[in-house]
Amino acid sequence: MSVLKFNNIHPIIGASVYIDNSAVVIGNVSIGDDVSIWPTTVIRGDVESISIGAGTNIQDGSVLHVSHATPFSEKSYPLVIGKGVTIGHRAVVHACTIGDYCLIGMGSIIMDDAVIEDYVMLGAGSLVPSGKKLESGHLYVGAPARRIRMLKDSEYDFLKYSYQHYITLKNQYL
């Protein structure tokens, strides 16, 4: 695995974390306990911080990054991901906030300063524009992402199952 410092800042990695050998974690990144980071994922905390909550899984080919203040954007944006989140294959998660127990569908893109509250399902291939807020307890799909309906009880159960399954799976890899 490539866990690299940037500007003398080393990633902080919690207990029982699985980072695949082909993944890259750089700089100001804090990873909670029981997180799994799957093949070819890039997590680059160079110009701002990245925080990943306990029990979260970042699936294959995902890119996690941040934004710095510029003459075009006066504010920098860290990336904050809550606990028990499933980020599907090939997602791009950029300088946003994701609450606890969310599912980010495969191939989704989440842009700067977007906020996804707790217990949100974002369908595969969705685009969450800069500054958009997705409210807790709903399913969102599309580009741009739009609210479809409230989550069903079975979907709340799936959110719990998904992150727990990946904890079990990463333990097999460890």
Which residues are 51's β-sheet partners?
Answer: 30, 80
Q: Which amino acid is at 9?
A: I
Average the pLDDT over 99-109 and give the result: 98
Supply the mean pLDDT for the chain.
97
- The whole-number average pLDDT for the span 4-26 is 97
**Residue 71 above 90 pLDDT?**
no
What is the structure's pLDDT at 16?
98
Q: Which H/E stretch holds residue 105?
A: none
Domain ranges, residue 133: 3-172
pTM higher than the cut 0.95 = yes
Domain count, the chain: 1
More confident residue, 71 or 65: 65
Q: CB neighbours of 72 closer than 8 A, spacing ≥ 6?
A: none
Confidence band, pLDDT 50/70/90 cuts, at residue 62: very high
Six-digit token pair at 13? 């990695």
> Residue 129 gets which letter from DSSP?
-
Q: What CATH number should be reported for the domain holding residue 160?
A: 2.160.10.10
pLDDT-derived band at 1 (thresholds 50, 70, 90) equals low
Q: What distances in angstroms separate CA 4 from CA 7, 66, 73, one per listed residue?
A: 10, 16, 28
Token pair of 139 as six digits: 């399913």
pLDDT the model gives residue 74: 85
